[in-house]
């Protein structure tokens, strides 16, 4: 009898194990919420009934994957609970156990990271947190057991657990990005030694400093809203380019100042007369010059008066520098607004995914209730089929929401200047000022005073006005001073001696007076005047557009705030209505249609609330941007 049953059990265990491993692989690639039972059965080339034979639903399969993933931890607990082990030995076994587990199941770390980044309200996240808490308590108990100096207090054990968690997270990230082979073989022992030594003799802060180079990458995954903005301002190409342009204009100031200072130049020349030139006097040919001729000069020039062109150029250079500062601030403000709004958009899609997941879970729970009623003869098979359709109809919305979440993360990483494969977690929620936009009366004046675009346009207008002066300067005299020290010498061979050398020194003033240029100077003056007029028009138009943008942002924030207020209590009311309907349905007092309608109402009220919350935060960011904040 046993010989007949043993192979069946072994085969079933193998099939069950294959299902769990495939589920872990798919969840590692797409995230747990995006994987369906249909996809798992297709990958394994088994029918869905076979899959449901081993696991009644997806939640049970995920729980089984969790249990499989924690087998090694139960084995570890037995190992490190043995008497006589020092704290360092226990820690080394903990780290080695996790590294070995990652080697055996390379998909598990990626799957775990996906679960960690799943919506905080999801069932998966709750399961992970519950499991984490159980493991935490077990480790605190085991690490606290011992004798003498290795007997840790609960406080110290809790501190050690934090370090262990950070190290294991680092193991998972490194193995995901570079492979588990990238982890040094002696790393578990080295880390155990550092932590144990720190707890025994060093201050906890020093232990953290010693571990920080190893764990820095894991800590960098969490991004607050302000942290995301700060990252973008460092990495975003638009901001980096604006900063580089700013330095160019700073250098231009030095360039213009260079024209104010004296210009000193030196020159030298050598001429070899292969056939010396001659000239005639009274019919006699006289040779001119010797075989070798040398010349040199040192020249000094200084502009005295150029019709104001030089000093106007210096003023313009300073204005260009100010203009580049405003362009940089404009780029920074624009990127900061875009990052905030994308951050909020990702949080929105994460929340929508959690709502859709809850809707799917509710539909599955209602299906289980109806199936139980069907077995009791209370519900019809048609009711079961209808609810199965309801479950199937809920899955695409969840998949779409999760896809939007992933796409939003990619867009956010793009704004932050990060690699698309970088793992980030949004540490903040949809939190912003929800009290409305306030009085609009003084906002126009604030916006015109603070917006760098407006200051930039004002500088542009002033630059064109200065350009008129530059062009007019061409009508005025140009006065400069000069001085020169010259040398000449000739010799038939070698360098000329003192008798064959000649030195000269000259100095003077030079006046250049433009008389007629064919009207080109006047034309350039008129062009500059027209450009100044255009800049003035653009400035006035920008002022009008800024006021419009302020008004529109104010209206959007006001509308979103009012909508949020109206939706604040609707979710709680819808949830109470669903709970009451579920009780009535189980007692046969409500129909399946009423049950699904109240589920839909809860979904809708949650969606409307989270959308209103997102719109409020996004509009708040937009209004602050229009005000130059």
pLDDT in tens, 402-461: 888 888 888 888 888 888 877 788 878 887 776 767 788 788 888 988 888 888 888 888
In this model, does residue 272 exceed pLDDT 60? yes
3-state secondary structure 193-254: HHHHHHHHCCCHHHHHHHHHHHHHHHHCCEECHHHHHHHHHHHCHHHHHHHHHHHHHHHHHH
In this model, does residue 126 exceed pLDDT 90? no
pTM given for the model? 0.57
Q: Are 470 and 312 in contact (CB under 8 A)?
A: yes
What dihedral do alpha carbons 345, 347, 350, 356 form, nearest 10°? -80
DSSP 557-604: HHHHHHHHHHHTTHHHHHHHHHHHHHHHHHTTSS-HHHHHHHHHHHHH
Q: Is 466 exposed, middle or buried (0-12, 13-18, 19+ CB in 10 A)?
A: middle
Q: Which residue has the tokens 């209730």?
A: 369
Q: Are 115 and 125 in contact (CB under 8 A)?
A: yes
Q: Name the more confident of 414 and 114.
A: 414
In this model, does residue 611 exceed pLDDT 60? yes
Residue 127 CB: number of other CB atoms within 10 A? 16
Q: What is the mean pLDDT of residues 499-521?
A: 86
Percent of the chain with pLDDT over 90: 10
Query: Three-state SS for 477?
Result: coil
Q: How confident is the model at residue 148 (pLDDT cuts 50, 70, 90)?
A: very low
In this model, does residue 5 exceed pLDDT 50? no
Q: pLDDT per residue over 292-320, tens digit each?
A: 899 999 999 988 877 777 777 777 777 88
Q: What is the mean pLDDT of residues 452-479?
A: 85
| Least confident span in 138-142, 155-159, 443-447, 564-568 | 155-159
Q: What integer pLDDT is reported at residue 180 of this predicted model?
A: 66
* Average predicted confidence (pLDDT) for the chain: 79
In this model, does residue 154 exceed pLDDT 70? no
* Whole-number Å distance between alpha carbons of 552 and 559: 10
Q: What integer pLDDT is reported at residue 390 of this predicted model?
A: 87
Q: pLDDT per residue over 333-353, tens digit each?
A: 888 899 899 999 998 998 888
In this model, does residue 123 exceed pLDDT 60? no
Q: What integer pLDDT is reported at residue 541 of this predicted model?
A: 92
- CATH of range 2-219; options 1.10.357.10, 1.10.10.10, 3.30.499.10, 3.90.850.10: 1.10.357.10
Q: How do the domains of the chain map onto residue ranges?
A: 2-219, 266-305+479-513
In this model, does residue 591 exceed pLDDT 80? yes
* Whole-number Å distance between alpha carbons of 309 and 315: 10
Q: What integer pLDDT is reported at residue 361 of this predicted model?
A: 85
Q: Residue 483 belongs to what H/E stretch? A: strand 478-491
Q: Which residue has the tokens 């001659």?
A: 278
3-state secondary structure 72-94: HHHHHHHHHCCCCCCHHHHHHHH
In this model, does residue 209 exceed pLDDT 70? no
Q: What integer pLDDT is reported at residue 298 of this predicted model?
A: 94
Compute the chain's Rg from CA coordinates.
Answer: 40
* Whole-number Å distance between alpha carbons of 490 and 510: 31
Q: What is the mean pLDDT of residues 357-363?
A: 86
Closest CA to 298 of 495, 482, 571: 482
Q: What integer pLDDT is reported at residue 540 of this predicted model?
A: 92
In this model, does residue 204 exceed pLDDT 80? no
Q: Are 264 and 298 in contact (CB under 8 A)?
A: yes
In this model, does residue 238 exceed pLDDT 70? yes
In this model, does residue 617 exceed pLDDT 70? yes
């Amino acid at each position: 009898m046993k010989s007949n049953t043993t192979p069946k059990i072994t085969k079933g265990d193998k099939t069950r194990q294959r299902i769990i491993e495939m589920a872990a692989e798919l969840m590692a690639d797409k995230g747990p919420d995006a994987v369906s039972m249909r996809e798992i059965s297709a990958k394994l080339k088994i029918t869905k009934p076979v899959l449901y034979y081993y696991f009644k639903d997806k939640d049970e399969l995920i729980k089984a994957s969790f249990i499989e993933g924690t087998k090694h931890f139960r084995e570890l607990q037995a190992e490190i609970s043995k008497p006589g082990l020092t704290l360092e030995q226990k820690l080394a076994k903990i780290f080695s156990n996790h590294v070995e587990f990652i080697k055996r199941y390379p998909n598990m770390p990626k799957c775990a990271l996906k679960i960690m980044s799943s919506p905080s309200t999801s069932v998966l996240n709750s399961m992970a947190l519950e499991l984490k808490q159980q493991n935490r308590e077990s480790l605190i108990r085991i690490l606290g057991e011992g004798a003498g100096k290795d007997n840790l207090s609960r406080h110290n054990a809790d501190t050690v657990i934090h370090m262990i968690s950070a190290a294991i997270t680092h193991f998972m990230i490194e193995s995901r990005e570079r492979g588990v082979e990238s982890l040094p073989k002696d790393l578990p022992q080295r880390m155990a030694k550092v932590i144990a030594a720190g707890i025994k003799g060093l201050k906890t802060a020093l232990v953290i400093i010693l571990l920080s180079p190893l764990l820095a990458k894991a800590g960098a995954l969490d991004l607050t809203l302000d942290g995301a903005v700060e990252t973008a301002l460092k990495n975003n190409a638009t901001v980096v380019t604006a900063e580089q342009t700013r330095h160019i204009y700073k250098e231009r100031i030095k360039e213009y100042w260079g024209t104010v200072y004296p210009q000193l130049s030196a020159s030298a020349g050598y001429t070899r007369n292969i056939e010396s030139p001659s000239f005639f006097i009274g019919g006699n040919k006289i040779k001119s010059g010797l075989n070798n001729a040398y010349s040199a000069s040192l020249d000094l020039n200084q502009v005295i008066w150029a019709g104001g062109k030089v000093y106007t150029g210096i003023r313009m250079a300073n204005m260009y520098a100010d203009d580049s500062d405003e362009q940089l601030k404009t780029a920074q403000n624009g990127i900061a607004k875009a990052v905030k709004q994308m951050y909020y958009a990702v949080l929105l899609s994460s929340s929508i995914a959690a709502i859709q997941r809850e809707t799917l879970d509710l539909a599955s729970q209602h299906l289980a209730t109806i199936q139980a009623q069907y077995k009791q003869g209370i519900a019809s098979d048609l009711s079961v089929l209808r609810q199965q359709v309801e479950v199937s109809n809920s899955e695409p919305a969840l998949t779409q929401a999760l896809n939007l979440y992933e796409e939003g993360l990619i867009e956010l990483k793009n704004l932050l200047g990060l690699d698309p494969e970088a793992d980030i977690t949004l540490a903040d929620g949809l939190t912003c000022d929800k009290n409305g936009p306030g009085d609009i009366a003084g906002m126009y004046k604030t916006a015109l005073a603070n917006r760098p675009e407006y200051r930039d346009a004002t500088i542009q207008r002033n630059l064109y006005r200065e350009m008129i002066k530059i062009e007019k300067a061409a009508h005025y005299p140009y006065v400069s001073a000069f001085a020169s020290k010259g040398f000449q010498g000739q010799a038939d061979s070698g360098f000329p001696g003192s008798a064959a050398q000649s030195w000269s020194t000259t100095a003077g003033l030079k006046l250049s007076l433009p008389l007629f240029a064919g009207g080109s100077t006047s034309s350039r003056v008129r062009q500059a005047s027209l450009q100044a007029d255009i800049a003035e028009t653009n400035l006035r138009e920008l002022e009008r557009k800024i006021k419009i943008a302020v008004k529109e942002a104010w209206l959007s924030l006001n509308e979103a705030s009012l909508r949020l207020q109206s939706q604040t209590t609707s979710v709680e009311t819808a949830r109470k209505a669903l709970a009451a309907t579920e009780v009535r349905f189980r007692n046969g007092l409500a129909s399946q249609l009423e049950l699904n309608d109240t589920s839909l109402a809860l979904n809708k009220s949650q969606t409307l609330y989270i959308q209103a919350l997102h719109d409020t935060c996004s509009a708040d960011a937009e209004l602050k941007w229009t005000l130059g904040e």
